[in-house]
Amino acid sequence: MVNKMVNRIRKELTKRQARVLRAIESFVLERGFPPTIRELGRRLGIANPSAVFKHILSLERKGYLRREAGELRLAGFPAPLDNQIRVPLVGVAPAGRPEEVFESLGENVEVPEWMVGRRRGNIFCIRVIGKSMVDAYIDDGDRVLLERTTTANSGEMVVARLDDGSVTLKRLRRENGRILLVSENPEYKPIEVKELRVVGRVIGLLRKY
């Protein structure tokens, strides 16, 4: 049985099958759960659910997928723990001087579902570089959960993109018509911006001791 499974997994995919598999993997990393047939069809631009299902069956026969309790499971992706969801780790954001660093890491992290709630499709995670937010208990190397948004209230912590394209993690302050990105460390001066470009709003912190 094991040898048969290995042989199935080693079977090559067609270009269309590889595209379907990448779409499923991308959906799982973004949302933390697998797509339905119709959700996958929309992502692939395939209107006929039967056509999508045929691709699913092909990937299942080749060992890349399996179906459990009405959901898709990717080979090599463990089933999510109870009350846990997967969140994509999409970038590295400086908590210090702004830098041109905000890249996809191709990884994901598991977080308690209660931290995300109904916003699960809009949540992503960053790894922090620097110590400008230490007084807010966010240190170098910490992982921070953010909600994708283009707006934020004064006093909220945000990742913002500056005019030169760089990004930074700071606390937003609006004072007398000014827009300030403020550090939680007296060694760093506030950054004043003419136009606020919010990438995400901080909703939680993940840390291992």
Task: Tell me the mean pLDDT in the region 145-150.
Answer: 89
Q: Is 170 a catalytic residue?
A: yes
- 167 plus 196 within the same structural domain: yes
- 46 plus 148 within the same structural domain: no
Note whether 17 and 57 are within 8 A (CB).
Answer: no
- 108 plus 26 within the same structural domain: no
Task: Tell me the mean pLDDT in the region 105-133.
Answer: 77
- How many DSSP H helices and E strands does the chain contain? 4, 11
- 119 plus 145 within the same structural domain: yes
Distances (CA, A) of 30 to 50, 74, 148, 192, 199: 25, 14, 12, 32, 16
pLDDT of res. 76: 63
Spot the catalytic one: 15, 132, 183, 194.
132
On whether residue 22 sits in a domain, the answer given is: yes
pLDDT of res. 7: 39
Task: Please count the residues of the chain.
Answer: 209
Query: Could you identify the residue written with the tokens 């598991």?
Result: 110
Overall pTM surpassing 0.75 (yes/no): no
d(CA 185, CA 175): 19
Spot the catalytic one: 58, 62, 170, 183.
170
Residue 130 — pLDDT band, cuts 50, 70, 90?
A: confident
- 110 plus 171 within the same structural domain: yes
Q: Is 154 a catalytic residue?
A: no
| CATH at residue 108 | 2.10.109.10
Identify the domain containing residue 19 by its residue range: 2-74
Higher pLDDT, 60 or 95: 60
Task: Tell me the mean pLDDT in the region 139-165.
Answer: 88
Residue 44 — pLDDT band, cuts 50, 70, 90?
A: very high
On whether residue 79 sits in a domain, the answer given is: no
- 64 plus 88 within the same structural domain: no
| CATH at residue 70 | 1.10.10.10
The model's pLDDT over 158-206, given as tens digits with 9 standing for 90+, comes to 999 887 778 889 999 998 889 999 999 988 999 999 888 898 899 888 7
Higher pLDDT, 174 or 86: 174
- 114 plus 195 within the same structural domain: yes
Mean pLDDT of the chain: 79
Count Cβ atoms below 10 Å from residue 52 Cβ, excluding itself. 22
- 120 plus 202 within the same structural domain: yes
- 90 plus 146 within the same structural domain: yes
